[in-house]
Structure 1
């Protein structure tokens, strides 16, 4: 079972190892709207361009397309996005890469939360995303193009 199974019902952060915790997409959006957190999208530029993005989210690739090599500018991008003492909520495709990014953020002294389910959620029985959880599935703001 994935670490984020059943996450949609979370209305409070869930403890995690190596970073501040895991939050449901809805809670992350509440924090962003209230000015309590910065939304950082750690997906690749290609993913944001082709699949969609959250208006106002700070893009900071964890890995770069093609090849998925680590982004050497990630630390600087994250430090620039999150003010000292601030909180970040990190979004990737499915809530996996954002765990690694949250752990790195914690090493940098940033309070960082992984957004469970990610932007697209888990694949369904046809291996298609967007129908089983995720930012878009929950009707949160996003755009394509």
Structure 2
């Protein structure tokens, strides 16, 4: 069952295997704006440039375009971005790559969460994103270049 099956956003973290848990875009934004978490946008530089970005989020690609090779600087960038004792909330396009990034962060000793639905949400019946969930559709802070 999806996190939003009850008709509202997930108001607390849901435990997950290999990382601290899954959170709704709304809860991630709340933690981030309160200073309780660092928001890491793990999408590619191209995605942030073409689709939109969250002002103030740390841009740290999990994989790089073209070719989608793992970012060799991810670990160092993550350690530099997240101070000891802070949570990390991971944002990708749909909430899939951010799971892998959260798992890696947990391996490095960081309390990391995946943001469900990601920036663009799930594909609709036409296989297009942006109309079914996600950070952007929720009306949370974002911009286009």
Query: TM-score w.r.t. structure 2 length?
Result: 0.95
Query: Are the aligned partners of 2:9 and 2:26 in contact in 1 as well (CA < 8 Å)?
Result: no
1:5-24 CA-to-partner distances (Å, cap 9, x unmatched) read 23452100000000000000
CA drift of 1:136 comes to 0.5
Q: Which residue of 1 aligns with 2:104?
A: 104
Q: Which residue of 1 aligns with 2:88?
A: 88
1:66-115 CA-to-partner distances (Å, cap 9, x unmatched) read 00000000001100110012110000000000000000000000000000
CA drift of 1:26 comes to 0.2
1:53-132 correspondence to structure 2 within 5 Å: 53-132=53-132
Query: TM-score w.r.t. structure 1 length?
Result: 0.95
Structure 2: unaligned runs, 5 residues or longer = none
Q: Which residue of 2 aligns with 1:6?
A: 3
SS at the partner of 1:9?
Answer: coil
Structure 1: unaligned runs, 5 residues or longer = none
Q: Which residue of 2 aligns with 1:17?
A: 17
CA distance in 1, matches of 2:109, 2:94: 24
SS at the partner of 1:101?
Answer: helix
Matched, 1:32 2:27: no
SS at the partner of 1:22?
Answer: strand
Equivalent pairs, count: 142
1:35-46 correspondence to structure 2 within 5 Å: 35-46=35-46
CA distance in 2, matches of 1:79, 1:24: 24
